[in-house]
C-alpha cells in the first residue's frame, strides 16, 4: 500500500531548500525520501530521522557521524552525502539518489545468481568497503538491503549510519548494533568491531547471492545467533551442486569464526576474489543455479537490531520482541539446545550407568560422581579480583594470568579466558585469565629535518600511521623535509594513530611581474629567481601586444616555493572591433557608442569652432580597430 499520501512531510520543503516529493523506504531509525534540491535543481535522496529519535543525542550523533564519514569517502561505489542539517523536529542527510533497486530486491526476484553476476556485484561492494576501511571506518551493517544497483548497472554501498572509526572500535558491554543474519561471532559475543566484521558480513552476502538463501536460519533470532557462534557457514556448493571449490574457499575465508583467520579488510578480500575469478572458466562463471528464491524470510533477521547484553545470563529462555532481548551472548545457545539442568542431564547418565553395571564393570557410580561439569562464567570486562571471586564461587581455580595490551578493554579488566566463557569443564578445573594492560602507547619520533618519505617510513616502523601532509614555508628546513608533526615528537600515542606531517616548501620566493613582457624575457625573469615557467596551450586577445605575456598564474609579489610553476598566457594582441560611422551625429551620443564598444574617444575641436556635430573620425566607419584603442572625433570648423 502506498503510504506517501499519509506522510505529513511529503510536499514540504526542508531548510527552505529540499522539496520532498515521495517516500522511498522506511527503517527503524529514519525514512528515506526522493527530494529535489531547489537551489541546484537536482534530484537527491533525503534521509530524515524519525522525530521521536531526534531528541536522543546518541542517534543525532550517529546521523552526523554518517554525514562526516561518508563525505570523506569520494568513491564511485559509495552513495555520496551532500549535506546535513536540521529543520525543526527533522534532522536529515541529503544524499545521492540512485534510481534502481537493492540487492535484496534482486535476490527476492531471482533467488540464486550465476557466479559471474554475483562477483560483478560483489567486487564493487568490496571496493567501496575497502576505501572505507583504508580511510579508517567500519560499516558494521553490511547486508543486501544496503547494496544499491542503479538502472545503469552501477553498484553502490549505502547506509553508513552505523559507521564507526576503526580507532574507536571497542568492546561494547551494553549492546550490539547490526542485523542478526550478518553479525560476526565477535560482535555477538563481546561487541568488538573492526574491519573484519564487515568481511564476515560480506562473506554471508556472497553465500546468499550464490545460493539464494542465508547460511543460518532458525525460528528465532536467538537461534541464528547461536549458529553464528557455534557453526561454520556451510560451503555454497552444498546447496548448489557444481559450484567451484574456489567459491567455497572464498566464503570459508571471509566467514571464518575466528577473526584472525579472515582477510584483514575488504581490500584484502577483494584481492582474493579477483585471484579466484581469474582461475574460473566461462562454464564455471555462467553455471545456472536452481532458481529457489530466498523470499521474505523472517523479517526480524533483516532488520537492524539493538541487542542488549547485561552481565549475568538469566536461566529463562530467550524471547524475541520488537527489540531483540539477548541476556548474554551464550544465552542464545539455550534456544536450540536441549535443557542442561539436573533433570535434563540425569536421564542419559542413568542410561550410561545402567549399561556399565549391566556389563559388570562396576564403574557406574564413579562415572556419575566424577563426571560433573561446570560452566565457565563470562568474565570479559571484569576486574581480576572480580574474576577470581566468580571462578571461586563456581568451584573453579585460576591456572595463570597473562597480561596483554588492549585498546578495547580497560586496564586491569579481563579481555579473554581459556577456556572461554560458556565452555563446560570438569569441576575443580582451572581457567587462564588474560588481563588488559590498557592501550599500548608509542612515543612519536622527532622527525624534524627528515625527508618526507624517510619520515613516513619511520612512523610506519614505530607502529604509527603517516597522516595528512600539509606544506609551509621555512627559512631553516630544506624543501621536502619535515618542519613539525602533530602530535609533536615525544608525545605518547596508541598504535596506528595517524601523525600529520608539516613539510617545508623551502624559503619563499617573490614572484616577479612579467605581464606585458615578451615571452622569452618573462621566462628568464622567472627562472632567475628559481621558478619554473610554463606556457598555457591557448593564446588570448588582450591589450598587450601580440607575443607578450597577457597574464601569469601567480600574481606579481605573491610568495612561491622554489621550483613552483608559473603558467604564462600569451597575448594574440587586441581583438579587432568593427568601428561604426558616427559622422553627422552629436559628439555626446557618438562618444557613448564608441566607448560602449571598448574604444577610448578623443574629441578634436578646431579653433573658434562652436559646432557639436562630428565632421570626421580617425578610423572610418566600417573598418576594424584594436579593442581599447583611441578614436579621435573632429567637429566642424568655421
Angle at 182 between CA 327 and CA 66, to 5 degrees: 95
**Residues 200/233, Cβ–Cβ less than 8 Å:** no
Exposed/middle/buried for 283, CB within 10 Å: 0-12, 13-18, 19+? Answer: exposed
Could you identify the residue written with the cell 554518517? 66
Q: Tell me how crowded residue 550 is: count the other CB atoms within 10 A of its CB.
A: 21
347: CB partners within 8 A, 6+ apart: none
- The length of the chain, given as a count of residues: 638
36: CB partners within 8 A, 6+ apart: 18, 19, 21, 42, 43, 44
Element housing 69 (H / E)? helix 57-71
Find, among 456, 562, 442, 466, the residue nearest to 505 by Cα.
Answer: 562
Find, among 328, 500, 317, the residue nearest to 422 by Cα.
Answer: 328
How far apart, in whole angstroms, are the C-alpha atoms of residue 458 and residue 443? 12
Q: Tell me how crowded residue 341 is: count the other CB atoms within 10 A of its CB.
A: 8
Find, among 373, 297, 371, 379, the residue nearest to 330 by Cα.
Answer: 379
Q: Which of 2, 6, 83, 141 is catalytic?
A: 141
C-alpha count within 13 angstroms, C-beta hemisphere, residue 594: 33
Exposed/middle/buried for 617, CB within 10 Å: 0-12, 13-18, 19+? Answer: buried
Q: Tell me how crowded residue 458 is: count the other CB atoms within 10 A of its CB.
A: 17
C-alpha grid cell for residue 137?
A: 571506518
Active site residue 586: no
Could you identify the residue written with the cell 598587450? 544
- How far CA 185 is from CA of 190, 208, 228, 329, 332, in Å, comes to 8, 18, 6, 9, 12
**Residues 387/433, Cβ–Cβ less than 8 Å:** yes
Query: What is the full DSSP assignment across 189-203?
Result: HH----HHHHHHHHH
Query: What is the full DSSP assignment across 132-160?
Result: HHHTTEE----SGGGEEEETTS-EEE---
How far apart, in whole angstroms, are the C-alpha atoms of residue 470 and residue 562? 17
Question: Could you give the residue numbers annotated as active site?
Answer: 141
Amino acid at each position: 500500500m502506498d503510504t506517501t499520501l499519509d506522510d505529513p512531510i511529503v510536499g514540504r520543503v526542508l531548510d527552505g531548500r529540499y522539496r520532498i516529493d515521495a517516500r522511498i523506504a522506511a527503517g527503524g531509525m529514519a525514512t528515506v525520501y526522493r527530494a529535489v534540491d531547489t537551489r541546484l535543481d537536482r534530484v537527491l535522496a533525503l534521509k530524515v530521522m524519525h522525530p521521536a529519535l531526534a531528541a536522543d543525542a546518541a542517534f543525532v550523533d550517529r546521523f552526523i557521524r554518517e554525514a562526516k564519514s561518508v563525505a570523506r569517502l569520494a568513491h564511485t561505489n559509495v552513495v555520496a552525502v551532500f549535506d546535513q542539517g536540521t529543520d525543526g523536529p527533522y534532522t536529515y542527510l541529503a544524499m545521492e539518489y540512485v534510481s534502481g533497486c537493492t540487492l535484496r530486491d534482486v535476490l527476492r526476484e531471482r533467488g540464486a545468481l550465476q557466479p559471474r553476476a554475483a562477483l560483478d556485484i560483489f567486487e564493487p561492494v568490496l571496493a567501496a568497503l575497502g576505501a572505507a576501511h583504508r580511510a579508517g571506518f567500519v560499516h558494521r551493517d553490511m547486508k543486501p538491503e544496503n547494496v544499491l544497483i542503479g538502472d545503469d548497472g552501477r553498484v553502490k554501498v549505502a547506509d553508513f549510519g552505523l559507521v564507526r572509526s576503526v580507532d574507536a572500535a571497542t568492546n561494547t558491554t551494553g549492546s550490539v548494533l547490526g542485523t542478526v543474519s550478518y553479525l560476526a561471532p565477535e560482535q555477538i559475543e563481546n561487541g568488538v568491531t573492526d574491519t573484519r566484521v564487515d568481511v564476515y558480513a560480506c562473506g554471508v552476502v556472497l553465500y546468499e547471492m550464490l545460493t539464494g538463501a542465508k547460511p543460518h536460519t532458525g525460528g528465532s533470532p536467538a537461534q541464528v545467533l547461536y549458529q553464528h557462534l557455534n557453526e561454520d557457514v556451510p560451503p555454497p556448493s552444498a546447496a548448489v551442486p557444481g559450484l567451484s571449490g574456489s567459491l567455497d574457499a572464498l566464503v570459508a575465508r571471509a566467514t571464518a569464526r575466528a577473526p584472525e583467520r579472515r582477510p584483514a579488510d575488504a581490500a584484502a578480500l577483494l584481492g582474493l576474489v579477483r585471484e579466484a575469478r581469474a582461475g574460473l572458466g566461462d562454464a564455471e562463471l555462467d553455471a545456472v543455479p536452481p532458481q529457489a528464491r530466498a523470499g521474505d524470510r523472517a523479517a526480524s533477521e533483516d532488520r537492524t537490531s539493538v541487542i542488549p547484553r547485561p552481565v549475568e545470563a538469566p536461566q529463562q529462555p530467550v524471547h524475541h520482541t520488537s527489540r531483540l532481548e539477548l541476556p548474554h551472548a551464550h544465552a542464545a545457545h539455550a534456544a536450540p539446545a536441549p535443557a542442561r539442568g539436573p533433570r535434563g542431564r540425569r536421564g542419559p547418565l542413568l542410561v550410561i550407568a545402567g549399561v556399565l553395571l549391566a556389563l559388570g564393570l562396576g564403574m557406574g557410580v564413579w562415572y556419575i560422581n566424577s563426571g560433573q561439569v561446570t560452566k565457565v562464567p563470562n568474565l570479559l570486562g571484569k576486574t581480576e579480583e572480580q574474576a577470581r571471586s566468580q571462578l571461586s564461587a563456581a568451584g573453579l581455580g585460576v591456572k595463570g594470568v597473562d597480561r596483554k595490551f588492549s585498546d578495547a578493554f580497560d586496564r586491569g579488566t579481563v579481555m579473554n579466558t581459556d577456556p572461554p566463557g560458556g565452555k563446560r569443564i570438569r569441576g575443580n578445573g582451572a581457567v587462564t585469565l588474560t588481563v588488559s594492560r590498557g592501550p599500548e602507547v608509542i612515543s612519536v619520533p622527532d622527525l624534524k629535518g627528515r625527508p618526507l618519505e624517510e619520515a613516513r617510513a619511520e612512523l610506519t616502523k614505530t607502529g604509527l600511521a603517516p597522516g595528512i601532509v600539509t606544506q609551509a614555508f621555512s627559512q631553516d628546513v630544506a624543501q621536502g623535509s619535515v618542519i613539525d608533526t602533530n602530535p609533536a615528537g615525544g608525545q605518547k600515542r596508541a598504535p596506528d594513530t595517524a601523525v600529520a606531517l608539516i613539510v617545508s616548501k623551502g624559503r619563499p620566493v617573490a614572484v616577479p611581474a612579467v605581464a606585458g613582457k615578451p615571452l622569452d624575457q618573462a621566462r628568464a625573469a622567472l627562472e632567475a629567481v628559481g621558478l619554473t615557467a610554463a606556457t598555457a596551450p591557448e593564446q588570448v586577445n588582450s591589450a598587450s601586444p601580440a607575443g607578450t605575456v597577457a597574464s601569469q598564474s601567480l600574481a606579481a609579489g605573491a610568495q612561491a616555493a622554489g621550483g613552483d610553476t608559473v603558467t604564462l598566457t600569451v597575448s594574440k594582441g587586441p581583438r579587432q572591433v568593427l568601428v561604426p560611422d558616427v559622422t553627422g551625429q552629436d559628439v555626446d551620443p557618438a562618444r557613448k557608442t564608441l566607448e560602449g564598444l571598448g574604444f577610448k574617444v578623443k574629441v578634436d575641436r578646431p579653433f573658434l569652432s562652436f559646432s557639436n556635430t562630428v565632421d570626421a573620425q580617425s578610423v572610418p566607419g566600417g573598418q576594424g580597430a584594436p579593442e581599447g584603442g583611441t578614436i579621435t572625433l573632429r567637429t566642424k570648423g568655421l
